[in-house]
Amino acid sequence: MTTRIVLIAICFLCATVTNAQKWEELSDEQKLSKLKSFRAENQKYMKDSLRLTPVQMNDIDNLNLCFLSTLDRIGRYAKEEQTKEEYADALWEVRWAQMDAIIGKEKHERYAAYIKRKILVAMEKKQI
């Protein structure tokens, strides 16, 4: 349950981290700009603070792409909400384990704490 909350919060943070304007009020260009900024900050943290290699960062990008596309398919094809939640929970657990495998448990925990701090700051500023 906690991991699902963190995932949802990350999605909200991606959408509104730089100002309090609502996501649906933004133009496509503004949305893209915000997502690029969020990704750039995360890439910098992973490279500078966690000292991840380019291969690890590429693997994480691929993992996230696969994760999001699978969530999209679950949303499209699963009929019942309970089934969607069960599949999403299972997918989240697999993603978490893959992150542990790619960067190690300790760095993964540090990265999760970093994302949590970003979310809390954004919430304090009423950006999400």
One DSSP character per residue, 21-84 reads S-GGGS-HHHHHHHHHHHHHHHHHHHHHTS---HHHHHHHHHHHHHHHHHHHHHHHH--SHHHH
pLDDT, tens digit (0-9, with 9 covering 90-100), for 43-92? 999 999 999 999 999 999 999 999 999 999 999 999 999 999 999 999 99
Per-residue pLDDT at 25 = 75
Task: State the Cα–Cα distance between residues 14 and 11, nearest whole angstrom.
Answer: 5
Work out how many domains the chain is built from and give that number.
Answer: 1
Query: Stretch 25-47: mean pLDDT, rounded?
Result: 84
Query: Stretch 122-127: mean pLDDT, rounded?
Result: 73
Domain of 84, in residue numbers: 2-124
Q: How confident is the model at residue 17 (pLDDT cuts 50, 70, 90)?
A: very low
CA distances from 77 to 1, 18, 52, 59, 70 (A): 23, 34, 36, 27, 10
Q: What is the pTM of this model?
A: 0.73
Query: Stretch 8-24: mean pLDDT, rounded?
Result: 54
Task: State the Cα–Cα distance between residues 7 and 122, nearest whole angstrom.
Answer: 15
pLDDT, tens digit (0-9, with 9 covering 90-100), for 102-118? 999 999 999 999 999 98
**pLDDT averaged over every residue in the chain:** 84
